[in-house]
Amino acid sequence: MKMWSGRFQQPLDPAFELWQRSFPFDHRLLPFELEASLAHARALEHAGVLSSEELAEIVRGLEQIGARAQSDPTFLNDDEAEDVHHFVEKELAALIGATGYKLHSGRSRNEQIATDLRLYVRSTIDQLQVLLADLVETIVGRAEKAGTVAMPAYTHAQRAEPVLVAHWLLAYVEMFLRDADRLADCRVRLNVCPLGSGAVSGATLAIDRGAMAADLGFDAPTANSIDATNDRDFVLEFVQALSVMSVHLSRWAEEMILFSTQEYGFVVLPEAYSTGSSAMPQKKNADLLELIRGKAGRVIGAATTLLMTVKGLPLAYNKDLQETQEPLFDVAQTILAILPLATGWMRAVEFHLAQMQAATESGFMNAWAAATYLVERGVASRQAHEAVGKAVRLCVERGCELQELRLNDLQGVHGAFDSGIFAALRLESVLAIHDVDGGTAPKRVKQAIQRAEQRIAHLRGEVHADA
Ligand code: ARG
């Protein structure tokens, strides 16, 4: 039985009928639809609309639908169901008869879909937080293992200053922890319950909205029925948070790809996550990284699709909103699949630590340290910069590094240089002077690792239990 045939005299055009259905994709909301329906049924009984026997029948029916969906994948091949709400109503009536049709008393699909989507996003956030914690924990583990080995840090893709490999890896930890933060923040705002909002004006039966909200683990009922039935901000926010995450993932992937080229030779691609070429026998390609980089386009595209879909919609529910589901599901599935693969890659990758460290020996990455040496001896920083710049010029002409100049060459560019400069130009000294919170001095990096570990433990502690 259709959910709305009474006022129609003519059947739907069959092509239109097929085309407007959302069940082919919204079937994935079934667990949430059942959960929300249970809460509604309990509220109906409380309001005296259902007897306790009817409630028991409905509960049994909903549970059976859930169990069958788990055990029988063909159960969802239904070419009659218009959407997940219709599917449940049909199946419930098939299982328990006419009482099944009482479940819809006092509610609208508009509040149901708004609720199901909130539950879906909430549960996906909880899963993503666990996967993010695994990823950052793995990166921190690799940082710890890299010890005090150094590598060049780049600005403008040019060698800039040496940093610890661990410090470089911890930069990604910061990005991914911010992503976790953004998701947590999105979760706080989405965690209110639209049930009881009806189609647009609020329920017509005396159902306890607070009880339904509490039943479903929401913090409170939504405040305005017009807003609640059409609000999809939480979908936009969630997908935007994942767009930022996909940008982080694409940057991570890009840098690993670059560093795996023969030109850098810092990263040895793990075979388990690479593929060969059908033509060139020598090739080992970074397919996992390239696909992750590529998926960012799809996620960002979905974020744009969602904004365009809701832009200019008048209040309240409009069927356009059904179009928000597929981009949402696609992005969620995309990122849920990427994170464990990225973690697996991070676990398996081999860093060529010797080559990374060797790369710090050229490119004048101790030039700022040389200028600092002068500043510490009272030279104004602009003059120090100029003097060291001249020393670099001399090196470029002679094809050598700063530490290979003679003391009198250095004194030729500035009289404040003395024999202590050669110790100051050594890699360990250069690293050690970056001795500020958040800097690359080895003891600071050690602290940063400890702090990251605490933040991961905190993140795991915050993750909601059913994830
Ligand atoms: N399938 C619909 C959607 O996803 C459910 C809500 C339908 N509401 C309605 N008034 N037709 O938006």
pLDDT tens readout for residues 151-160: 999 999 999 9
Q: Closest Cα partner for 207 from 340, 292, 107, 78? A: 107
Mutate which of 5, 28, 84, 110 for ligand 1 pocket (most atoms within 8 A of beta carbon): 110
Q: Of 279-283, 306-310, 341-345, 425-429, which gets the smallest average pLDDT?
A: 279-283
The predicted-structure confidence for 435-446, as pLDDT tens digits, reads as follows 999 999 999 999
Closest ligand 1 atom, residue 84 Cα: 1
CA distances from 466 to 125, 150, 207, 251, 331 (A): 11, 41, 27, 31, 21
Q: Which numbered atom of ligand 1 lies nearest the CA of 199?
A: 10
Token pair of 328, please?
């949402």
SS3 148: coil
Give residue 110 CA to ligand 1 midpoint distance, Å.
6
Q: Which residues of 81-100 are buried (b: 16+ CB within 10 A; e: fewer)?
A: bbbbbbbbbbbbbebbeebb
**Average pLDDT rounded to a whole number, residues 124-143:** 98
Q: 52 alpha carbon to ligand 1 midpoint, in Å?
A: 30
Vertex 183 angle, CA 178 and 189, to 5°: 130
Q: 325 vs 21, 22, 253, 298, 330, CA distance in Å?
A: 12, 9, 28, 15, 9
- Tell whether the model's pLDDT for residue 197 goes beyond 70: yes
Structure confidence at residue 182 (pLDDT): 98
Strand partners of residue 152: 162
**Is residue 434 annotated as a catalytic residue, yes or no?**
no
Question: Which pLDDT score is estimated for 5?
Answer: 79
Residue 127 has pLDDT above 90, yes or no: yes
Residue nearest to atom 4 of ligand 1 (CA): 322
For residue 6, the model assigns a pLDDT of 84
Q: How far apart are the first and last CA of the chain?
A: 36
Protein residue closest via CA to atom 2 of ligand 1 = 322
Question: Above 80 in pLDDT, residue 466?
Answer: no
User: DSSP states of 264-275 as a string?
Assistant: T--EE--GGG-B
- Alpha carbons within 13 angstroms on the beta-carbon side of residue 418 total 4
pLDDT digit string, tens, across residues 224-273: 999 999 999 999 999 999 999 999 999 999 999 999 999 999 999 999 99
156 is catalytic: yes
Once rounded to an integer, what is the mean pLDDT over residues 301-314? 98
pLDDT exceeding 90 applies to what percent of the chain? 94
pTM passes above 0.85: yes
Q: Is 39 exposed, middle or buried (0-12, 13-18, 19+ CB in 10 A)?
A: buried
SS3 letters across 40-71? HHHHHHHCCCCCHHHHHHHHHHHHHHHHHHHH
Q: What pLDDT band is residue 60 in, cutting at 50, 70 and 90?
A: very high
Give the number of the atom of ligand 1 that is nearest the alpha carbon of residue 83.
1
Which residue out of 51, 201, 277, 381 is catalytically annotated?
Answer: 277
Q: CA angle at residue 24 from 199 to 309, to 5 degrees?
A: 55
**Residue 1: pLDDT band with limits 50, 70, 90:** confident
User: Which among 23, 28, 33, 83 is the best mutation to test ligand 1's pocket, defined by most ligand atoms within 8 Å of the CB?
Assistant: 83
Mean pLDDT of 315-333: 98
Choosing from 52, 71, 156, 278, the catalytic residue is 156
Overall average pLDDT of the 200-205 stretch: 97
What pLDDT was estimated at residue 24? 97
Q: Ligand 1, closest atom to CA 85? A: 5
pLDDT surpassing 80 at residue 465: no
Q: Can you give the pLDDT at residue 353?
A: 98
Q: Is the pLDDT of residue 221 over 90?
A: yes
Beta bridge partners of 268: 350
Q: Which residue has the tokens 């400069």?
A: 421
Residue 3, pLDDT score: 79
- In this structure, the residues whose C-beta lies within 6 A of any atom of ligand 1 are 22, 26, 83, 109-110, 113, 317, 319, 321-322, 325
The SS3 of residue 303 is helix
- Pocket of ligand 1, candidates 29, 322, 325: which has the most ligand atoms within 8 Å of its Cβ, to mutate? 322
Candidates 91, 127, 121, 118; CA nearest to 36 is: 118
The four Cα atoms 102, 107, 108, 112 give a dihedral, to 10 degrees, of: -100
Q: How confident is the model at residue 424 (pLDDT cuts 50, 70, 90)?
A: very high
Q: Would you list the DSSP string of 210-238? A: HHHHHHTT-SEE-S-HHHHHH--HHHHHH
Compute φ and ψ for 27, nearest 5 degrees. -60, -25
Percent of the chain with pLDDT over 70: 99
Interval 371-421: pLDDT, tens:
999 999 999 999 999 999 999 999 999 999 999 999 999 999 999 999 999
pLDDT at residue 467 tops 60:
no
